[in-house]
Structure 1
């Protein structure tokens, strides 16, 4: 496709960065790339990308600079090495870390005449380039609006507000739910396999149980928001008994019982504090206090 759209720089060419640079090329953008290991750019260069001589040249090449790095240690290492070139640039920082580190990077850039749009990408590299995919963004709204069309080449854009930490906060709470859920699935699969039930045999039952979760979230979220933790649907004492049964089953199967043991201990403390007749949702308040 003839390159006729706004040019963009992509720094960081792991699988995600390569997918992003490729999506920009496919959409007709002129793309400058840079990575510490230059060979990672070979395929992109063959497709028409420009490989910058160094990180400073990559930043200087375009107003919009997309950062796709492992964490903010890597982000700060790059930013500090290109300090002289950041003024006037907009950094779409799509690297993962904590909300506070996102705010720190945004302050650092603002003090030097640049802007940061924090991003939290909600899909793996295979989802880049799909409008059905989504990325959380936060930061200066003017910068977001100016570069929205380019950013939407990568995924749909869900703007969360001007606080640069908000996109990372939304991303991390999604990851909190995701990794906890996946760990539970993998633990259950280990117990199944320890008892001669294959992952394939377990699959339809795992899917069936997982499919209950959206409805439970829809039911419980308004109650949590209202501070309603009545034990009319579930009771903490019964939850504790159930989790203990899971832990005992796992350990009797020769499977590490650490995950259900942590859950049981958390619920046990709540029961001992007097919440045995309340819903499991009352843990939200206890987590906040902790």
Structure 2
């Protein structure tokens, strides 16, 4: 049963993630109101103790804290624009995936309407919402986050406020997804290469994970080099010329073993350009100069 001392919260949007968010609030004893365009998706959380609102207006009126998790930014406005007059004084935490420019536009809209807007990014899957290791990023007014921080942190032990700039959540989101895809793509490339020698991916995995731990040390050094902004990029582990020579082996093996060579060929091209720009004797961190500049 919801505790009378717990902050009421409204969850708008009951896809798989929205249902998980609502369930976390209900489980913690918060009076939880939910709304979804298709009411049948509310059945499970209503059974757990949530209250189904008949309209978005009714859902907004039920709580000061609104948690929104819809398909996209257009869906957010389709639901909230008609009830904008009822949003004044409330806190809207938007967990809908979006871009940094959308976050800033929504913040400007919120200021015009008169409510506090937190943009957010969920760095987990529905089944892990509320787990200690799960992370949810929020950006926007610190006061609004602090006002409802205890409630919002129910969604994951790693929940954190990134700063006042509303764009930060979206920027961190896509940057971390890039790390994920880069790591996974490299693992899959390696597994494909080893499969030509009948090596199972499961046998490759322990060594790959151990190597990722070593790569963390490289990244720690490179982060400091990038942040110094002095263009020095000392080669404390290997020069770009050494890296270029090594990636040529990966490219050769991929082509020779008959596996897809697009990824190593792409990386090889980036390294060649970095060396051509004069960074041959610098560290791999010098590649950041290439990534910071759009290609003409």
Q: From the superposition, tell whether residues 170 and 55 of structure 1 become closer, same or farther in structure 2 (CA, over 3 Å).
A: same
Q: From the superposition, tell whether residues 77 and 197 of structure 1 become closer, same or farther in structure 2 (CA, over 3 Å).
A: farther
1:195–1:253 contact (8 Å) kept in structure 2: no
Unpaired stretches in structure 2, ≥5 consecutive residues: none
Aligned to 2:272, what secondary structure does the other structure show? helix
Q: Could you list the per-position Cα deviations for residues 166-219 of structure 1 after superposition, in whole angstroms to 9, with x for gaps in the alignment? A: 222223222221221122112222222343211112111211211212222222
Match of residue 180 from structure 2: 178
Superposition pairs of residues 24-173 of structure 1, within 5 angstroms: 24-156=25-157, 157-173=159-175
2:196–2:257 contact (8 Å) kept in structure 1: yes
* Residues in 2 aligned to 1:147 and 1:137: alpha-carbon distance in whole angstroms: 12
* Residues in 2 aligned to 1:196 and 1:70: alpha-carbon distance in whole angstroms: 42
Aligned to 1:256, what secondary structure does the other structure show? coil
Q: Could you list the per-position Cα deviations for residues 16-67 of structure 1 after superposition, in whole angstroms to 9, with x for gaps in the alignment? A: 2111110101000111112223222111111111112133322222111101
Given the alignment of the two structures, is residue 250 of structure 1 paired with residue 254 of structure 2, yes or no? yes
Q: From the superposition, tell whether residues 256 and 73 of structure 1 become closer, same or farther in structure 2 (CA, over 3 Å).
A: farther
Given the alignment of the two structures, is residue 208 of structure 1 paired with residue 210 of structure 2, yes or no? yes
2:194–2:200 contact (8 Å) kept in structure 1: yes
Runs of 4+ in structure 1 off by over 4 angstroms are none
* Residues in 2 aligned to 1:55 and 1:254: alpha-carbon distance in whole angstroms: 56
Match of residue 191 from structure 1: 193
Aligned to 1:211, what secondary structure does the other structure show? helix
Q: CA deviation at 1:76?
A: 2.8
Q: CA deviation at 1:117?
A: 1.0
2:2–2:26 contact (8 Å) kept in structure 1: no
Q: CA deviation at 1:133?
A: 2.8
Q: Could you list the per-position Cα deviations for residues 84-132 of structure 1 after superposition, in whole angstroms to 9, with x for gaps in the alignment? A: 4322221111122222211111111221111111112222223321344
Unpaired stretches in structure 1, ≥5 consecutive residues: none
Match of residue 266 from structure 1: 270
Given the alignment of the two structures, is residue 285 of structure 1 paired with residue 264 of structure 2, yes or no? no
Deviates more, 1:28-37 or 1:244-253: 244-253
Aligned to 2:10, what secondary structure does the other structure show? strand
Coordinate RMSD, CA, aligned: 1.9
Aligned to 1:133, what secondary structure does the other structure show? coil
Match of residue 223 from structure 2: 221
Q: Could you list the per-position Cα deviations for residues 130-160 of structure 1 after superposition, in whole angstroms to 9, with x for gaps in the alignment? A: 3443322121222111111111111243112
User: How high is the TM-score relative to the length of structure 2?
Assistant: 0.90
Aligned to 2:31, what secondary structure does the other structure show? strand
Q: CA deviation at 1:232?
A: 4.4
2:12–2:67 contact (8 Å) kept in structure 1: yes
Match of residue 8 from structure 1: 9
